[in-house]
Amino acid sequence: MNESHRPPVPWPAEVDPEHLREAASRLAAHVSGQVGDDGAIRGECRSRVLESALALSLMTRIGVSSPARDRVLAFLREHLDSPQEFDRVLATLAVGRAGDRASADGADVVAKLTDMLLGAAPAFISARRRRMLYAVLSLFGCPVPPDAAPAADEEAPTDPVHSWAAVQQAAVTLVLAAATGVSNGATAAALRTLTAVRPETAVWEGYVLLHLLSLHGLAGVPGQEETVRSGLETLLRYQRDDGGFPFVAGLQHWCTSTAGIALAAAGSPPGVLRAMAETFVAHEVVESQRSLCLSLSRGAPLTGGWSIGPRVAQNDVDCTSCVLEFLQAVDPVGYGGTVRRGVDALLAVQGADGGFPTYVAGASSEPCMTAAAVNALAPYPFTAPARERALAFLADSQLPDGGFEPGWSRSRLHAMFRARLAACTAAPDDHRAARMAERIERSVRETQNADGGWGMQPGDPSDDISTAYGLITLCYGTESRPVGSALSWLLAHQNADGGYGGPPDMVGPRPFAYHIPVLTDAPVLLALGHVRHRVRSTASLLREGVA
């Protein structure tokens, strides 16, 4: 855990330390109870409307009538009145199309949903995500905007992207080409890409959404009928009990590393932590899968790090940073060789601007990934020059309101709390990092709701995850009152089983939220861990740790 140059925050008088200790113990028990015999947290991804609608659309498109179709149709009918507009509209379109009812005002739907969703995604992916949205909506009968139709002379893209994005681009290219009747150099390359991942035999990388987009892309290509039907049978292995489909098969490494950092901060027993750490030391991917991932990537991928799961070859900065931070907390000496390989992998993808991308060298640097990398690299003195450049990138990237561009969370505070922790690693004479930290703290204080919590965005109702992020940030400030208000909010919202609820914040692909319950518990436990280390007068009680 990063050390602050500031003295501890005074203990807020309105919070009972014993109540906090008991709540932290219950939450830690709830999280550690999800650790399997192999040391991993499976963290099953809940069904999502996007994938479920695409699955129903594919079944409708190729004329499948089965119990699986009936179940996904029932799932979508339950979401016809969803409070989330995108889910509500997509469920309505999918159910209507399954019943052979045409959608009305398709052009208006496309414009409205696209503008709404792209505002929550980083600017550098907006063009790619816009095309994806156009492709998805075209599968439900919505028209492709004229300016989105593929050009007759369009060639395959060459921009630096990771393997998942390359496959997504290929699928979107074929969907849009089929919708507009265009064939060009890009469509030929896209077909080669999609056949390379062999969707008829497996859900490549466990990425259900990519599998569905790939099958829809191939469904518009003559001669691919058997591939699509076999691919649909493969997909059905991932249908959930509620009839829907998830975004991915699982995010075992992501769940285990983020929960592990939180458990370590809360003082959990070393036996549990070591069992969790061993899952990362043992991580290996089949060479053929790794080679395919490398061949599809446009740009040097992160090698020697970690991915979202044990059978996933596409490594990323986020997972690698969290795994490194966790291994450092458990046993930096015992895991020294593994850690050094991860550190070298991170340093290899640092951009010329000092920032870090999510996946491949040469892609756009992102503030949230950069902050995560700084926090992971902080314990290693030889990384000081790289961290100094990264902190400069963070300072340059800060928005006028103290925040940063959207990353992999719907909560504005996700990147902010990470950047505030990264600022703790700066040299005492790094005045730019200090000013960045002050602006973060001020913004977090000013956007705290009257009830003591924070919402995903300023003015939104308070939620568990954003409140945890806000609390972590203010643990590195000087005022006890906002810390006490946030703690009071969290203590009042703990569930009977010791866990926490509320809306999910993680997104994938951006800006689509996915839900894994432990990813709500982990940020709250992490926040209580930071309170344990940073709030005065709690040491004698809270440093006893949690069982």
Residue 87 reports pLDDT greater than 80: yes
Residues 31 and 127 reside in one and the same domain? no
Residue 326 belongs to some domain of the structure: yes
Q: What percent of the chain has pLDDT over 90?
A: 88
Residues 535 and 432 reside in one and the same domain? yes
Residue 446 belongs to some domain of the structure: yes
Provide the token pair at 244.
């829907």
Residues 308 and 318: their CA atoms lie apart, in Å, by: 9
SS (H, E, C) 476-538: CCCCCHHHHHHHHHHHHCCCCCCCCCCCCCEECCCCCECCCCHHHHHHHHHHHHHHHHHECCC
* Contact between 38 and 279 (Cβ < 8 Å): yes
| Torsion, Cα of 366, 371, 373, 376 (10° steps) | -170
Residues 289 and 193 reside in one and the same domain? no
Q: What percent of the chain has pLDDT over 70?
A: 96
Residues 310 and 172 reside in one and the same domain? no
Residue 1 belongs to some domain of the structure: no
Q: Within 10 Å of residue 176's Cβ, how many Cβ atoms?
A: 25
From 87, 159, 242, 318, the catalytic residue = 318
Residues 402 and 465 reside in one and the same domain? yes
Residue 107 reports pLDDT greater than 80: no
Q: What is the pLDDT of residue 110?
A: 84
Q: What does the buried/exposed string (b/e) look like for 407-433 if buried means 16 or more CB atoms within 10 Å of the residue's CB?
A: bbbbbbbbbbbbbbbbbbbbeeebeeb
Question: What is the band of 201 on the pLDDT scale with cuts at 50, 70, 90?
Answer: very high
Question: What is the band of 119 on the pLDDT scale with cuts at 50, 70, 90?
Answer: confident
Question: Which domain-ending residue is among 194, 210, 238?
Answer: 238
Residues 231 and 194: their CA atoms lie apart, in Å, by: 12
Residue 497 belongs to some domain of the structure: yes
| Structure letter (DSSP) for residue 151 | P
Residue 101 belongs to some domain of the structure: yes
Residue 243 belongs to some domain of the structure: no
Question: What is the band of 102 on the pLDDT scale with cuts at 50, 70, 90?
Answer: low
Residues 36 and 53 reside in one and the same domain? no
Average pLDDT over residues 8-31: 97
Q: What is the pLDDT of residue 546?
A: 55
344 counts as catalytic: no
Residue 74 reports pLDDT greater than 50: yes
Residues 426 and 526 reside in one and the same domain? yes
> Cβ contacts of residue 241 below 8 Å, gap of 6+?
none
**For the residues of 241-310, what is the DSSP string, one character each?**
TTS-B-SSS--HHHHHHHHHHHHHHTT--HHHHHHHHHHHHT----HHHHHHHHHH-BS-B--SS--SST
| Secondary structure of residue 156 in the 3-state scheme | coil
Average pLDDT over residues 53-57: 99
Residue 405 belongs to some domain of the structure: yes
Indicate the number of domains in the chain.
2
Provide the token pair at 81.
């009145």
Structural domain that includes position 53: 49-238
Encode pLDDT of 352-401 as tens digits: 999 999 999 999 999 999 999 999 999 999 999 999 999 999 999 999 99
Residue 11 belongs to some domain of the structure: no
> Cβ contacts of residue 303 below 8 Å, gap of 6+?
315, 345, 348
> Cβ contacts of residue 341 below 8 Å, gap of 6+?
304
Residues 369 and 322 reside in one and the same domain? yes
Average pLDDT over residues 278-301: 95
Residues 436 and 424: their CA atoms lie apart, in Å, by: 11
Residues 511 and 363 reside in one and the same domain? yes
Q: What is the pLDDT of residue 547?
A: 46
Question: What is the band of 21 on the pLDDT scale with cuts at 50, 70, 90?
Answer: very high
* Contact between 506 and 516 (Cβ < 8 Å): yes
Encode pLDDT of 477-527 as tens digits: 999 999 999 999 999 999 999 999 999 999 999 999 999 999 999 999 999
Average pLDDT over residues 193-219: 98
Residue 277 reports pLDDT greater than 60: yes
Residues 275 and 345 reside in one and the same domain? yes
Residues 137 and 268 reside in one and the same domain? no
Mean pLDDT in the chain? 95
Residues 220 and 338 reside in one and the same domain? no
Question: Which domain-ending residue is among 212, 238, 264?
Answer: 238
Question: Which domain-ending residue is among 205, 238, 271?
Answer: 238
Encode pLDDT of 229-238 as tens digits: 999 999 999 9
Residues 248 and 142: their CA atoms lie apart, in Å, by: 26
Q: What's the CATH code of the domain at 341?
A: 1.50.10.20
Place of tokens 């179709």: 69
Q: What is the pLDDT of residue 123?
A: 84
Question: What is the band of 545 on the pLDDT scale with cuts at 50, 70, 90?
Answer: low
Farthest-apart Cα atoms in the chain, separation: 71
